[in-house]
């Protein structure tokens, strides 16, 4: 290779091609990851803005900020945006897109063109749905439950459903890309049980994407056909069965919980082992538990329907399987704790995010056991207890893991370091603000406060005020990283190839990586997370 060719090959993926067309028509998985990052960040702050208005409304028992109709539209906007356009694609489509090829020693994903197409599908579908929800005031909630969404809601429900349907294809394409890359493009010596747990988590997530998303797509098509053509599928007025919609919807949407949380588990596994300077405790058990969560995730959808009138025996079986799915989740929590035990702990901002995840996920998991019990679920169903549980898992868990992973791999993605002190402030603000926001909601829910209500008895006001105050602190915890990470792109200290002295193939290349990731083919000869060897060098 000539000297000019060698220099060109070693150039960063960010160093050439800054015209708009260079980004919009790229097939580089790293640039596609950035496109996703920009898109989901915009959706996140839109959904967060709706949540802040909701919390302002709930400061007082009377509906004195927005009308009841506008309130219904606000929580629909919040749910639709956060679930479909942020939580589900967040880690796989950003960190997963950027890191998976690097972690397996590949030059790119298996299908680079499908990768950029998936971003276009996601963005177009997302914008289409947002336009429908905002301009026409869809008020069905993010679940689009029938018969309300087919018989009573007379706004742009079909348009909103169409956008979500389109976005589903993006998930399927991403899942196929990750599965094929993991199977076919691993570096020599990188056997299955040498893979980073982040790869295991994204591989399992991809299986759920490919297997479950078509069920959601078919369900949305049936809903659209019923609404447009009057075919009786879910609407009882037309001879349909609304419970059938719930079965089909939750058959996808409960596995979708694991699309959201499994990648977060993979991220946290990487963070804890690095900042404990220890090999992951029980690596094989961690990998197998990831696959076990994936399997059990398809067997528990009926626990969302304990009060729907389904068979008592079906309810008992769904309750039993829900208790079982807690076992592989508990394995992961115990293994993280054992990894921390007697480790050389480094309390960086990244570690604070990781420990926050473990704490918040554990609280959310314990309250999930409450909801798995038929008798307790009947008492707290459709109350703020369910809202708090969902947010402890999805926001306290997944979003915390996403931010922790973003901070961990930021030097690799950008070649720049961020101000550590501000990162610690943001991580602590997130943890404090989150608990102040959502723990009072457990108390409200157990006392009988229904969710999705604009007005409420005065007895609940102090808890709502605490929750709204926490939302303000939480907003600071989310806004700070946006500010200092953007600041670091210009003024941050230049990062070395491996600023954390971490294990993994992604740390063997420059920060930021060259266009094709590695200047030389990579070979793996040892186990993952061998921090004893790294620290003794």
Q: Please, what are the domains in the chain?
A: 30-536 (1.20.210.10)
Q: How confident is the model at residue 146 (pLDDT cuts 50, 70, 90)?
A: confident
How confident is the model at residue 258, as a pLDDT? 86
Q: How confident is the model at residue 236 (pLDDT cuts 50, 70, 90)?
A: confident
Q: What are phi and psi of 514, to 5 degrees?
A: -70, 170
How confident is the model at residue 31, as a pLDDT? 96
Q: Is the pLDDT of residue 151 over 80?
A: no
Query: In the 8-state DSSP scheme, what is residue 509?
Result: S
Rounded average pLDDT over 157-163: 92
| Residue whose C-alpha is closest to residue 444's, from 468, 473, 464, 472 | 464
Q: Is the pLDDT of residue 335 over 90?
A: yes
Tell me the percentage of the chain whose pLDDT exceeds 70: 98
| Structure tokens that stand for 356 in this block | 């926050």
Q: What are phi and psi of 12, to 5 degrees?
A: -65, 150
Tell me the percentage of the chain whose pLDDT exceeds 90: 80
Q: Per-residue pLDDT tens for 77-122? A: 999 999 999 999 999 999 999 999 999 999 999 999 999 999 999 9
CA distance 491 to 494: 9
Mean pLDDT of all residues belonging to the chain: 92
Residue 188 buriedness (CB in 10 A; 0-12 / 13-18 / 19+) = exposed
Number of neighbours of residue 266 by Cβ within 10 angstroms = 29
The distance from CA 292 to its chain's CA centroid, rounded to whole angstroms, is 19
CA distance 352 to 343: 15
All residues at 6 or more sequence positions from 146 whose CB lies less than 8 Å from its CB, including other chains: 223, 226, 234, 235, 240, 242, 245
Q: Is the pLDDT of residue 45 over 80?
A: yes
How confident is the model at residue 264, as a pLDDT? 95
CA distance 401 to 263: 8
How confident is the model at residue 154, as a pLDDT? 67
Q: Is the pLDDT of residue 203 over 70?
A: yes
Half-sphere exposure of 112 (CA within 13 A, CB side): 13
Find out whether the peptide bond into 512 is cis, omega within 30 degrees of 0: yes
CA distance 222 to 465: 42
| Residue whose C-alpha is closest to residue 505's, from 185, 122, 171 | 185
Q: How confident is the model at residue 496 (pLDDT cuts 50, 70, 90)?
A: very high
Q: Per-residue pLDDT tens for 415-474? A: 999 999 999 999 999 999 999 999 999 999 999 999 999 999 999 999 999 999 999 999
Residue 267 buriedness (CB in 10 A; 0-12 / 13-18 / 19+) = buried
Q: Which residue has the tokens 């939750």?
A: 250
| Residue whose C-alpha is closest to residue 114's, from 34, 210, 178, 38 | 178
Q: Could you tell me the pTM of the whole model?
A: 0.95
């Amino acid at each position: 290779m000539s000297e000019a060719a060698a220099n060109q090959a070693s150039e960063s993926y960010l160093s050439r091609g800054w015209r708009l067309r260079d980004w919009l028509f790229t097939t580089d998985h790293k640039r596609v990851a950035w496109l996703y990052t920009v898109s989901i960040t915009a959706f996140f702050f839109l959904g967060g803005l709706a949540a802040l208005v909701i919390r302002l409304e709930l400061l007082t028992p009377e509906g004195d900020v927005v009308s009841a109709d506008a309130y219904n539209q606000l929580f629909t906007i919040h749910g639709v945006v956060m679930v479909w356009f942020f939580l589900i694609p967040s880690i796989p489509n950003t960190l997963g897109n950027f890191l998976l090829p690097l972690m397996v020693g590949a030059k790119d994903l298996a299908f680079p063109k499908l990768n950029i197409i998936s971003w276009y599908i996601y963005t177009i579908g997302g914008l289409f749905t947002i336009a429908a929800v905002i301009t026409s005031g869809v008020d069905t909630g993010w679940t689009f439950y029938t018969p309300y969404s087919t018989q009573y809601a007379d706004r742009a429900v079909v348009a909103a459903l169409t956008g979500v349907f389109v976005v589903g294809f993006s998930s399927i394409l991403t899942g196929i890309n990750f599965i094929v890359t993991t199977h076919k493009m691993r570096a020599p010596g990188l056997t299955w049980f040498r893979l980073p747990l982040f790869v295991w988590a994204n591989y399992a997530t991809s299986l759920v994407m490919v297997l479950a998303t078509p069920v959601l797509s078919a369900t949305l098509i049936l809903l659209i056909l019923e609404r447009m053509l009057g075919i009786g599928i879910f609407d009882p007025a037309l001879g349909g069965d609304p419970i059938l919609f719930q079965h089909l919807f939750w058959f996808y949407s409960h596995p979708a919980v694991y699309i959201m949380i499994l990648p977060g588990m993979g991220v946290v596994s990487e963070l804890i082992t690095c900042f404990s300077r220890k090999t992951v405790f029980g690596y094989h058990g961690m990998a197998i538990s990831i696959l076990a969560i994936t399997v059990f995730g398809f067997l528990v959808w009926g626990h969302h329907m304990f009060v729907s009138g389904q068979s008592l025996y079906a309810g008992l079986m769904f309750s039993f399987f829900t208790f079982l799915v807690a076992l592989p989740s508990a394995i992961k929590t115990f293994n993280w704790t054992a990894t921390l035990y007697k480790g050389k702990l480094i309390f960086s901002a990244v570690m604070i995010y990781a420990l926050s995840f473990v704490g918040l996920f554990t609280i959310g998991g314990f309250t999930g056991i409450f909801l798995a019990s038929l008798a307790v679920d009947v008492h707290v169903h459709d109350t703020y207890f369910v809202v708090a549980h969902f947010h402890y898992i999805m926001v306290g868990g997944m979003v915390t893991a996403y931010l922790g992973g973003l901070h961990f791999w930021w030097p690799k993605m950008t070649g720049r370091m961020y101000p550590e002190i501000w990162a610690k402030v943001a991580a602590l603000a997130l943890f404090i603000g989150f608990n102040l926001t959502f723990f009072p909601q457990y108390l409200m829910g157990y006392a009988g406060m229904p969710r999705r209500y604009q007005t409420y008895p005065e007895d609940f006001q102090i808890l709502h005020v605490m929750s709204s105050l926490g939302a303000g602190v939480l907003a600071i915890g989310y806004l700070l990283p946006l500010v200092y990470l953007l600041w670091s792109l210009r003024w941050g200290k230049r990062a070395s190839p491996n600023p954390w002295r971490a294990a993994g193939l992604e740390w063997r290349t420059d920060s930021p990586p060259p266009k094709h990731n590695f200047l030389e083919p990579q070979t793996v000869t040892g186990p993952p997370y061998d921090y004893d060897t790294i620290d003794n060098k």
